[in-house]
């Protein structure tokens, strides 16, 4: 008779079954077997927070298999993951089996292990326990809170803020952090400051760099040299001074290794060093935890990866210290094992830190059995766990002060690595660390009183930088510091924010989308308490106290729900205009930043008298004019003066003014091919008559387009002037391929910097002159007055008259062709009747076309054509072909 063991994943089930043998049958639940159905009423506050759970088809299927396997079994071991989610899965499995009456006479026990190794699993099976009811209640409270916030707050968002998708208890706070950092960056004003760097030389001729720290007897603060004039004066003072060494300070410092990985620090370091996202890191860590095949046995390579505890098991520390001694020698082992204490707020430390299950499984040994990404992550975990038990690194730091006796002091700093310690194996990366590390410089031998020479002095301008945007690593670190979320939630929170298009990642930094900023502004305006970091962290503490049995879960839910439901009720009578006003006031500096010319950024560019601001429509938010419906100016929700002005006028038009001659409206509109200006409106009585239109050219800013510019576009093509030698008209216009200038049949495209409305005669002649190297106007055709031109073609020069093309003799230069020669060749070409289906015949050289002109005419007649085709049949036979060649003419 076999006992049943339930784990979460099938790969884990296979491994554990090998460890336990035939007396056990290990089955997988495939994660959560049931959840709260996504509909109203799944959590009922009026019934003391009763909860309805529902299993999907997959969950019912797997639970049916477990129920069938339990027939005849004496014990059910619930061996899901050793955390709150794992405890919850075990609780759900037991509850569903009880509903199926599958647990009659079956003893239900809970077992947990921090690593999937034979010894860990067998030890856990020998020490089972009951389900942890406080931990289950903490799960229920957390799940109920997330449900109540999401299903109560999201409908408010949909009604009051069209276009938004959802809100979440922790996700909204994380979004707020990203949006607030972006707001800090936008209002940041850079300040100028200067530094003075000097290249000094010792009496022995050894060069080294130094920085000015005191000027005119006063210690320099960051902005004391705030302008070029002061900086240059300080530079001259250093250049003219004679410096001697006043003081040399040497001291030895120690740098201790970082603690072993927890979930958050693993995600941070994998992001910095490997470029992995949080989600990718956790997926790979899960695979390493569940194990790989080594020598015919599946072995879990790392301990459980969802943890906030930095402690290590004593057996693991002993094994790591022995490995360090073997690999690096006794000098790299500290006298006593290192112990670490978590600095994270609300850390539960229920599990060990993340470490290799067997320190003897070195990365180079197991790397060939792993994928490239798995191997890199395992190596990172292995080195960090090993380094945390190594000796501290020792550095000899040196600081040298040099004075000129007139109030100027220079300082040089440097360090020498006296003993590498843990740095021999591992170096921790930092977020946004400066690349200029002066302390890492090596200084030459210097003694007190040594006279020094000044080789070179530089004054360098700097500007303060705004705070950096959050990366995945720095955002996880910030959330951990604030006590928001838990190790198992970080990856999913960041994924949800991106999936809902609230934020985007650029250069591995989070940038809030306008939709995300609107949601944050709405929540901070009307639900500020529930997106407050302090409130969210305090709620996390209460959930932890429930898990420890110190608080009752329903008491926490009641206290939260009473205030939260009252806050939601207050928004029922909230007018859309109130929402708009609040959001407009909050996000005004973002969407309408101050202009350099001092003009009002909210002045409507269409009517000139209205005030543009945030508007809410059926399909979301946009920018509109306060004079609506008289003024129908709208534009896409984006920062004023953004990089994509072509998105303007997506939902309307802009009135530029009246035509001075006709009085018709001149409007700027958006069509299927882009923006254009239009004179007047279509006449309903005359559908064939169309108003005059002209497209905007590249580089034109639709927001800055004035009436004069529109009238200029509508008047195109315009006369630029007359050619001073030939007297031909030179015109400028906009065609299918953009703006151009033309003289006769010669067209030349304008460059990007040219303005079709203001280009002058000299510039137009220059463009046409360059074009004349490959095209030459010969004059007007005597038949219809249309221009005749000679051009350089891919297969030689040719003449063109309308659609008729004739090749020129190859020995004739383009500059020597006359109008009479071209007309004669074009006349010959014009006589050619091209048979139906003979496409491209007109492109053949003139000589060949002339030779074949007569047969081509004959083929148009039915009878001769039939005769001509008769002897053509035997062409495919070589013998017949040879006979035809020998026959007399």
What is the C-alpha to C-alpha distance for residues 465 and 190, in angstroms, rounded to an integer? 6
**Burial 551-563, CB ≥16 within 10 A → b, else e:** bebbebbeebbee
What is the C-alpha to C-alpha distance for residues 16 and 290, in angstroms, rounded to an integer? 10
**Burial 767-796, CB ≥16 within 10 A → b, else e:** bbeebbeebbbbeebeeeeebbbbbeeeee
**Which residues contact residue 510 at a Cβ distance below 8 angstroms, ignoring those fewer than 6 apart?**
178, 469, 470, 471, 472, 475, 497, 503, 504
Give the count of alpha carbons within 13 A of 418, CB side only.
Answer: 15
Q: What is the DSSP string of 371-392?
A: -HHHHHHHHHHHHHHHHTTSPP
| 796-801/620-625 β-pairing | unpaired
What is the C-alpha to C-alpha distance for residues 674 and 652, in angstroms, rounded to an integer? 13
Main-chain dihedrals φ then ψ at residue 652, nearest 5 degrees: -170, -155
| 192-201/207-215 β-pairing | antiparallel
Helix count and strand count (H, E) for the chain: 25, 32
Q: Dihedral, CA atoms, 35, 41, 44, 49, nearest 10 degrees?
A: 0
* Contact call for residues 453 and 425 (beta carbons, < 8 A): no
**Burial 474-504, CB ≥16 within 10 A → b, else e:** bbbbbbbebbbbbbbbbbebbebbeebebbe
What is the C-alpha to C-alpha distance for residues 824 and 484, in angstroms, rounded to an integer? 87
Instruction: Give the E-state strand segments of 541-690 in sequence order.
Output: 612-617, 620-625, 634-635, 654-658, 665-671, 674-679
What is the C-alpha to C-alpha distance for residues 341 and 347, in angstroms, rounded to an integer? 10
Q: Which two tokens stand for residue 142?
A: 């957390």
Q: Which residues pair with 731 in a beta bridge?
A: 719, 742
From the list 77, 139, 289, 304, the catalytic residue is: 304
Our CA angle for 773, 779, 724, nearest 5°, is 65
**Burial 675-693, CB ≥16 within 10 A → b, else e:** bbbbbbeeeeeeeeeeeee
Angle between helices 533-547 and 171-187 (to 10 degrees): 150
Could you give the C-alpha distances from 263 to 307, 363, 373, 549, in angstroms and in order?
6, 20, 18, 25
User: Which of 592, 583, 585 is closest to 518 using CA atoms?
Assistant: 583
24 has catalytic annotation? no
User: Which of 304, 291, 259 is closest to 374 using CA atoms?
Assistant: 291
State the DSSP H helix or E strand holding residue 7, giving kind and residue range, or none if neither. strand 3-7
Q: Which residues are catalytic?
A: 304
């Amino acid at each position: 008779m076999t006992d049943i063991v339930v784990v979460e994943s099938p790969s884990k089930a296979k491994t554990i079954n090998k460890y336990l043998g035939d007396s056990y049958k290990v089955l997988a639940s495939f994660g959560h077997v049931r959840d709260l159905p996504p509909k109203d009423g799944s959590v009922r506050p009026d019934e003391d927070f009763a909860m309805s759970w529902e299993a999907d088809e997959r969950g019912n299927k797997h639970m049916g298999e477990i129920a069938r396997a339990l027939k005849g079994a004496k014990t059910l071991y619930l061996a899901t993951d050793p955390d709150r989610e794992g405890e919850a899965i075990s609780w759900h499995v037991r509850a569903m089996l009880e509903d199926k009456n599958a647990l009659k006479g079956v003893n239900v026990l809970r077992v947990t292990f921090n690593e999937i190794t034979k010894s860990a699993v067998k030890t856990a099976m020998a020490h089972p326990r009951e389900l942890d009811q406080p931990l289950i209640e903490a799960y229920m409270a957390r799940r109920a809170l997330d449900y109540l916030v999401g299903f109560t707050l999201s409908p408010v968002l949909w009604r009051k803020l069209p276009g938004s998708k959802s809100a979440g208890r922790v996700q909204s706070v994380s979004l707020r952090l990203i949006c607030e950092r972006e707001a800090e960056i936008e209002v940041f004003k850079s300040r100028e400051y200067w530094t003075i760097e000097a290249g000094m030389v010792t009496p022995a001729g050894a060069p080294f760099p130094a920085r000015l720290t005191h000027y005119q007897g006063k210690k320099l603060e960051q902005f004391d040299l705030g302008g070029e004039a002061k900086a240059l004066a300080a530079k001259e003072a250093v250049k003219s001074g004679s410096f001697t060494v006043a003081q040399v300070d040497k001291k030895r410092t120690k740098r201790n290794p970082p603690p072993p990985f927890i979930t958050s620090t693993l995600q941070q370091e994998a992001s910095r060093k490997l470029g992995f996202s949080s989600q990718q890191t956790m997926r790979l860590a899960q695979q390493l935890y569940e194990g790989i095949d080594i020598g015919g046995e599946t072995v879990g390579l790392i301990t459980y990866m969802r943890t906030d505890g930095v402690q290590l098991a004593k057996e693991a520390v002993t094994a790591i210290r022995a490995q360090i001694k073997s690999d690096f020698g006794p000098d790299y082992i500290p006298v006593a094992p290192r112990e670490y204490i978590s600095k994270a707020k609300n850390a539960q430390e229920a599990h060990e830190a993340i470490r290799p299950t067997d320190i003897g499984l070195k990365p180079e040994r197991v790397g060939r059995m792993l994928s490239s990404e798995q191997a890199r992550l395992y190596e990172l975990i292995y080195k960090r766990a090993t380094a945390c038990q190594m000796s501290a690194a020792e550095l000899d730091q040196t600081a040298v002060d040099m004075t000129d006796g007139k109030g100027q002091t220079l300082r040089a700093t440097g360090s020498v690595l006296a003993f590498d310690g843990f740095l021999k194996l591992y170096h921790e990366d930092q977020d946004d660390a400066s690349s200029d590390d002066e302390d890492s410089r090596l200084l030459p031998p210097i003694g007190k009183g040594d006279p020094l020479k000044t080789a070179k002095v530089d004054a360098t301008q700097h500007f303060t930088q705004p705070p950096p945007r959050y990366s995945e690593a720095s955002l996880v670190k910030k959330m951990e510091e604030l006590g928001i979320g838990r190790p198992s939630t970080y990856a999913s929170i960041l994924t949800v924010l991106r999936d809902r298009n609230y934020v985007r990642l650029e250069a591995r930094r989070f940038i809030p989308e306008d939709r995300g900023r609107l949601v944050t502004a709405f929540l901070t305006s009307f639900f500020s308490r529930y997106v407050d970091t302090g409130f969210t962290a305090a709620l996390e503490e209460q959930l932890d106290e429930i898990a420890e049995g110190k608080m009752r879960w329903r008491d926490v839910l009641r206290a939260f729900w009473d205030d939260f439901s009252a806050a939601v009720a207050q928004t029922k009578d909230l007018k859309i205009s109130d929402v708009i006003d609040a959001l407009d006031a909050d996000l005004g500096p973002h969407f309408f930043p101050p202009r350099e010319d001092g003009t009002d950024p909210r002045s409507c560019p269409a009517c000139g008298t209205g005030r543009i601001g945030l508007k809410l429509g059926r399909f979301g938010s946009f920018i509109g004019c306060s004079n609506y419906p008289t003024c129908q100016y709208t534009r896409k929700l984006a920062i004023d003066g953004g990089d994509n002005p072509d998105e303007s006028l997506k939902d309307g038009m802009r009135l530029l003014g009246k035509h001075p001659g006709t009085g018709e409206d001149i409007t700027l509109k958006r069509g299927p091919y882009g923006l254009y200006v239009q004179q007047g409106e279509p006449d309903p009585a005359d559908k064939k008559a169309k108003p005059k239109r002209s497209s905007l050219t590249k580089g034109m800013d639709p927001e800055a387009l004035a009436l004069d510019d529109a009238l200029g576009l509508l008047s195109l093509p315009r006369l630029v002037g007359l050619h001073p030698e030939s007297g031909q008209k030179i015109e400028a216009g906009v065609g299918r391929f953009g703006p151009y200038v033309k003289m006769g049949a010669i067209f030349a495209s304008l460059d990007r910097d040219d303005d079709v409305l203001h280009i002058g005669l000299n510039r137009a002649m220059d463009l046409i002159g360059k074009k004349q190297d490959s095209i030459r106007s010969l004059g007007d055709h005597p038949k219809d007055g249309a221009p005749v031109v000679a051009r350089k073609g891919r297969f030689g020069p040719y003449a063109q008259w309308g659609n008729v093309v004739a090749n020129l003799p190859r020995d004739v230069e383009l500059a020597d062709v006359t109008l009479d020669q071209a007309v004669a060749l074009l006349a010959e070409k014009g006589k050619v009747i091209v048979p139906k289906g003979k496409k491209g015949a007109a492109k053949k050289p003139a000589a060949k076309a002339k030779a074949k002109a007569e047969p081509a005419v004959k083929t148009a007649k039915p009878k001769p054509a039939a005769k001509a085709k008769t002897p053509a049949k035997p062409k495919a036979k070589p013998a017949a072909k040879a006979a035809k060649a020998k026959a007399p003419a």
